[in-house]
Amino acid sequence: MRVALLQFAPALGELTPNLRRVLDGVREAAAAGAGLCIAPEMSLTGWTLPDDRLRARLADQTAAVALPALADAARSNGITVVVGGPLPDPSGAGISNCAVALGPDGRRAVHRKLHLFGPETAWWTPGEHVEVMTAPGAVIGPLICYDGEFCEVPRLLRLAGAQVLAVATTNMTPYERDQDLIFAARALENECAVAVCNRVGFEGDWRYFGRSLVADARGNVVAQAGADDELLLADVDVTGGAADPALGYLAHRRPRIYRALCDGEHVGSAPAEHEEVRA
């Protein structure tokens, strides 16, 4: 699959210019033969949104204006789109930071950010689950920035069948090395392609460094952007054929043992000799 990463600097607090930029990028990506186009985290509105009324207005506009337009662009251009923006929580409990995957056949998957970073804890209602979407050519697992830094979340998407982890990010200085290291590792340990679309530009004191990347199933970075606006294209094997069969991370898992990570059993101390951690 050819993947396109639409790296740009969203206008803060405005939907219309950002939507126009993403729609232009989708058309450009499709014309270049891409089957998947990913835009950054909160690319429809900008990330720094402390004002309650502005967040609510932008979330309503994202749902009513942006997503229908992007769904139509996905259909008319024959491409899957992953875009970041705010959406009302379906329970009515608040608003979430979302990455939405839109397929050319009308399918949709919504990832609501599970782990909130810094000031986001005051802005968003966190999600509670992951979703994948079957698109032409691959099963796509949409993901957002900080969530990808918790190894459990990409693994959940992979176990749900994702062949490409489509990560929308707003990574800022000084986390350049973190982005390169973490997402290459996520590709390697999950034996699948990982495509990370980061933004550029500034918001207040935050400086976003770009460096969007695509890593293959062996954790090799096969394409990486610079620090400016760019449409990065890369061809990736979505079948997992690039993985090393001798390693077999997925095949060799022992989930019964890992349950102790969640129930707290034996955390902080080693089991007695010959004692087995219970399932």
Catalytic positions, please?
41, 113, 145
Tokens of residue 95, six digits = 């608003």
Judge contact between 197 and 69, C-beta under 8 A. no
- Residue indicated by tokens 């804890």: 121
Task: Evaluate the CA torsion angle 120, 214, 139, 79 in order and state its sign.
Answer: positive
Tokens of residue 257, six digits = 């043992």
Judge contact between 53 and 60, C-beta under 8 A. no
Q: Which helix (H) or strand (E) holds 29?
A: helix 16-31
Cα 30–32–37 angle (5° rounding)?
A: 45
Judge contact between 180 and 225, C-beta under 8 A. no
Give the span between the Cα atoms of 59 and 6, in whole angstroms. Answer: 21
For the chain, the straight-line distance linking the first and the last C-alpha, in angstroms and rounded, comes to: 39
Give helix 16-31 / helix 67-77 axis angle, nearest 10°. Answer: 10
Judge contact between 145 and 170, C-beta under 8 A. yes
